[in-house]
Amino acid sequence: MTSLRLTSLHVRKFSTPQSVDERNALCFGNRPSHPAPVRTVMSAVCRLWSRRAAPVSVAGARSFCLGLVRMNRASNDRSATVNLTYDVFDGKGEKTPLVFLHGLFGCKSNFHSIAKSLVQRTGRKVLTVDARNHGNSPHSPILTYEAMTNDLQHLLSQLRIGKCVLIGHSMGGKVAMTTALLQPNIVERLVVVDISPAHTSVHTNFHTYIRALKEVKVTGNLPRSTARRLAEDQLRKHIKEHTVRQFLLTNLVEQNGDYAWRVNLEAISNHMEDILNFPEFNQCYNGPTLFLGGNNSDYITSEDYPEIQRLFPNADIQYIPDASHWIHADKPLDFISSIITFLQS
């Protein structure tokens, strides 16, 4: 197995904070006494709080207002919770199950071979999950990380899984991070695969992918192999990478005699900025965390280290040599070994 290269990031170990200031330092890091204005438009309640509640600090008012905004948004998203489809690979052990979350345009089958191997090598139960608007899960016009987190919590509650190890790739990694930050009690350990809590548009061609998929026209009553070939010929004009075309083509399905994309392209397009961004948090997740990047990928860079350390103070960052953004596909054995080592640490 190719050895992993540990970055120069040194994670500070904090003792249990005894005061409000110490708790703020733990989760917020060293910040100015007057933080920058909140990006989200504050409600009237927040404005009144900020102006009239003199005894409350600026940081306290900001946290209160962000909390109201997040609670309101989470409440709206929760009302649209969908029942996610999933596959279970049963292990004989009693340890905490592993839950895999795929990336944008992906599906639960992306991790099937990885899941089977981990069941054999760890004895743990493994779940692979289809996100809303992906795979066989229901479609919804809403596609935010809060909504996807609520979907996941709903699924885990239905399955009576009180605690799990969350492993998320790309978009799924942001869902995993959001879940850990909002509901740390259900996340025993966290693995974030080739993504960071930062805006990722500089790395992506997702807008191009959506336009290309929308332009594909394939008539019904054709053999699946022929339909895929015709679709790929049309995608080739806009998407030069063969591996990307093959990945996107996994979403071509036959429905009522016609071929269509099973991903909800409208919802993805309408929420692309939500997907590329990451929610703002003032709390941190203190559980064991592994950020696993591909050495040939630039989704996790040194510029992301401070924010990773602020939100996940017990995080390690590792890179797998000769791996791109799709680490689990490029280097499956190294990927599996990294997860097993992390579980045993």
8 A C-beta contact, residue 135 and residue 108: yes
Q: What is the mean pLDDT of residues 52-59?
A: 35
Residue showing tokens 């909390």: 67
pLDDT for the residue 203:
65
Distance in angstroms (rounded) separating the CA atoms of residues 342 and 122: 12
User: Is pLDDT above 50 for 292?
Assistant: yes
What is the Cα–Cα distance from 83 to 85, expressed in whole angstroms?
Answer: 7
Based on the residue annotation, tell me whether 302 is a catalytic residue of this protein: no
* 122, 318, 337 from 3: Cα distances, Å: 20, 10, 10
pLDDT over 80 at 58, yes or no:
no
CATH assignment, 86-198+286-344: 3.40.50.1820
CA separation for the pair 135, 86 (Å, rounded) = 10
Condensed to tens digits (0 to 9), the pLDDT of residues 163-216 reads 999 999 999 999 999 999 999 999 999 999 999 999 886 667 899 999 999 999
Mean pLDDT of 79-101: 92
The pLDDT assigned to 213 comes to 97
DSSP secondary structure string, 35-94? PPPPSSPPPHHHHHHHHH-TTS-HHHHHHHHHHHHHHHHHHHHHTT-----EEEE--SS-
Q: Count Cβ atoms within 10 A of the Cβ of residue 307 and give its class: 0-12 exposed, 13-18 middle, 19 or more buried.
A: middle
Which tokens belong to 177?
Answer: 């991070």
Of 131, 62, 126, residue with least CA distance to 92: 126
User: What's the rounded Cα separation, in Å, for the pair 161 and 31?
Assistant: 37
Q: pLDDT-derived band of residue 94, with 50, 70 and 90 as boundaries?
A: confident
pLDDT tens digits for range 310-331: 999 999 999 999 999 999 999 9
Query: Mean per-residue pLDDT for 6-31?
Result: 35
More confident residue, 20 or 292: 292
Q: Is the model's pLDDT at 69 over the cut of 60? A: no
- Average pLDDT of the residues of the chain: 82
> Bigger pLDDT: 163 or 34?
163
* Residue-level pLDDT at 202: 62
Among the options 102, 271, 325, 328, which is catalytic?
A: 325
Note the pLDDT of residue 305. 97
Cα gap 70→146, rounded to integer Å:
9
203 tagged catalytic: no
Annotation marks residue 325 as catalytic: yes
pLDDT over 70 (residue 254): yes
Choice among 266, 269, 324, 337 that is catalytic: 266
Q: Quick one: tokens of 103? A: 């990336």
Token digits for 139? 């479609």
pLDDT at residue 221, rounded to an integer:
85
Please state the φ and ψ torsions of residue 262, each to the nearest 5 degrees.
-75, -20
Q: What is residue 200's predicted lDDT score, i.e. its pLDDT?
A: 81
CB 105 within 8 A of CB 135: no
Q: Which residues contact 236 (CB under 8 A, 6 or more apart)?
A: 245
Residue 286 contacts residue 15 (beta carbons within 8 Å): no
CA 216 from centroid of its chain's CA atoms: 28
Which residue among 137, 170, 196, 338 is the active-site one?
Answer: 170
pLDDT, tens only, 268-287: 999 999 999 999 999 999 99
HSE-CB at 287 with a 13 A cutoff on CA atoms is: 23
Confidence check: pLDDT of 138 > 60? yes
Residue-range domain boundaries for the chain: 32-79, 86-198+286-344, 203-270
